[in-house]
Amino acid sequence: MAIAIDTNIYALGKKLNITSERMMNYANKTVDEIIEAETAQGNTKAAEFAKQLESDPNTLIKTFQLDNPGNKFNIISQIPEQKMPEYLEFLEDDDLRLGLNFFSQEQLLKLMQDFAPIEEVVNSTMICFPLMEIVKMMPDKELNNFIVNKDLDPEFLKKNLEKMDPEVIAVMIEGATGSPVVEEDPKKLMGMLYGLDKDTYKEALVAMDPDAKRVMVLNMQKQDPEVMQLFPAKAYTTMLSTLQKPDMMEGMAALQTESLLSMNGELPPELMAIVLTQIDPKDLAKIVIKEYPDLLTQIVAA
């Protein structure tokens, strides 16, 4: 299959010392066929040029104008589909972020859940929303799961519980035990809370007023920003889904190389080829010379 590229075939003729009239006879011929025909006729420049074309990236770039995105696309499109994701590694992170625009908002959020570490999901959300708004939007269910999360350091939790108003602690104990609490002394209330058995203690934590939980999360975040990673990615992507896509895309600045590579790797081949046109021409030339020299025999200069 011929690969048509946009280049000056007469400039090629001049380089090979071929007259314009003779070049007209090579219409619709591949560059390889032109070189082969000229070499057979004793054109030593053609033979020398063939060797350069097979080994020198700069010659390849100039001959096939690989700084032209259209030319790059036509060549990249002929690379086996299963190999394309390998070459995404040649792109800069900003190039990979542009590739994310090919996904719908729904697809993109799903990919974030599947491929981005929770740290990056949190950071993406924090680019798009103030922290206070994030905590305000966090569902009560997730706040409950957070406060009893086994990965939340128990001592860190206790330290923050002891900063809560006594009324909040009393309500927690009442909610877990079903018995009214008349005690008002903060230390005694904490003693009552810590004196509960394991399951009742968890029930007391869940019984904390949702707004009080949010205040505690904010306080915890000031001490240790990583606590926000204890909420699930789904909670954050649900928040991001409320934005218009252009606003949501601003949060993609938090995604790092590995996540970007994995997400772009889910693009269909025809779109991945478009993303890959951002590759440096020298990198593409080296790839073609090393891995796909047969492509050079298929190129037709227009």
12-32 confidence digits (pLDDT tens) = 777 778 887 787 777 777 777
> What pLDDT is recorded for position 268?
97
This prediction has a pTM of 0.87
Higher pLDDT among residues 271 and 4, named by residue: 271
Neighbours of 107 (CB within 10 A): 14
- The residue extents of the domains of the chain are 3-91+279-301, 104-264
Instruction: Give dist(CA 259, CA 112) in Å, integer.
Output: 8
Quick check: helix, strand or coil at residue 300? strand
Place of tokens 């330290």: 159
pLDDT, position 9: 66
Which helix (H) or strand (E) segment holds residue 198: the answer is helix 198-206
Per the model's pLDDT, the better-predicted residue between 109 and 300 turns out to be 109
> In this predicted structure, what is the pLDDT of residue 49?
80
Partner residues linked to 252 by β-bridges: none
Give the pLDDT confidence of 252-284 residue by residue, as tens digits.
999 999 999 999 999 999 999 999 999 999 999
pLDDT at site 41: 86
**3-class DSSP state of 67:** coil
